[in-house]
Chain A
Amino acid sequence: MVTLGDYLLVSGMLFTIGFAGVMVRRNIVIILMSLELMLNAANLSLVAFSRYHVQPGGLPNYSAQIFVFFIITVAAAEVAVGLAIIVALYRARQTTHVEDINSLKF
């Protein structure tokens, strides 16, 4: 029997993979992909809780799915802006490696 905890664990593992990607990888495009993984892990746990809290009418709680809809919208906008920034950065510095972009580093 699949329980709520199984979905939460899968969501946590996916979040950890994305977090490790942000911490370990040095290619800025891959870092953006790992951010997407983390956002989707949050979506998975939201949908699992939506299914868990069945309303009196016998339907899942749709508020969580509305949140997921908003998160997907914001994530898509964020990817578009992030990739535009990466293109502008690549034009200026010819690199996507974060250790080569250290002018602001103290």
Chain B
Amino acid sequence: MLVFGAAVVINRNPVASALSLVVSFLGLAALFMSLDAYFVGIIQVLVYAGAVMVLFLFIIMLLDLRVEKLRKINWVATTGGAVVALALLIQIFYVVGNFKAASQPFPPLTRSTIDDVHNVGSLLFSSYNLPFQVIGVLVLVATIGVVVLSKRELR
């Protein structure tokens, strides 16, 4: 999964990047399943490997993006970005290494989570009902925004 995640960044061809992203998300869905979160894993496959990826590939094909020409690389920006990312990685390793709970194995589940759609759904419609409605409004606003942005005569 990490290899394909890196391939997203390294590939020069946008189509290869998008397909690496699919494989990376499928690996992530497998990790969710291994954490007994079946609902989230299936949503991950449906939303990312299905919808988002079709959207990315559609835009890449629509804009007809080819393999990028080798431009003069801005070395200051590239090395600066790499150094900041490396510093972030070192900090993450340090923090996780000093985190007491991180070295303990997961406690066992006494009940099966194979029906966690039911559990997530009942929590979503009871304790998290207001955020759920707000997210619905957000999706509506995003839809309207996309339609407005895509209109040709935006003057």
Query: What residues make up the interface of B, taking CB atoms closer than 8 Å to A?
Result: 1-2, 5-6, 8-9, 14, 17-18, 21, 24-25, 28, 31-32, 35-37, 39-40, 43-44, 47-48, 51-52, 55-56, 59-60, 62-63, 65, 68, 71, 74, 77-78, 80-82, 84-85, 88-89, 92-93, 96-97, 99, 101-111, 113, 116, 119-120, 123-124, 127-128, 131, 135, 138-139, 142-143, 145-146, 149-150, 154
Contacts and interface: CB of A to CB of B under 8 A. Distances in A.
Given A47-B35, A69-B124, A16 B96 contact: no
Interface string A46-84: 011011101001111011011011101111111111011
Contacts, number: 224
B52 to A, nearest CB: 5
Contacts of A17: 2, 5-6, 8-9
Nearest to B84: A23
Interface of A: 1-5, 7-10, 12-27, 29-30, 32-34, 36-37, 40, 43-44, 47-48, 50-52, 54, 57-60, 62-63, 65-66, 68-70, 72-81, 83-88, 90, 96, 99
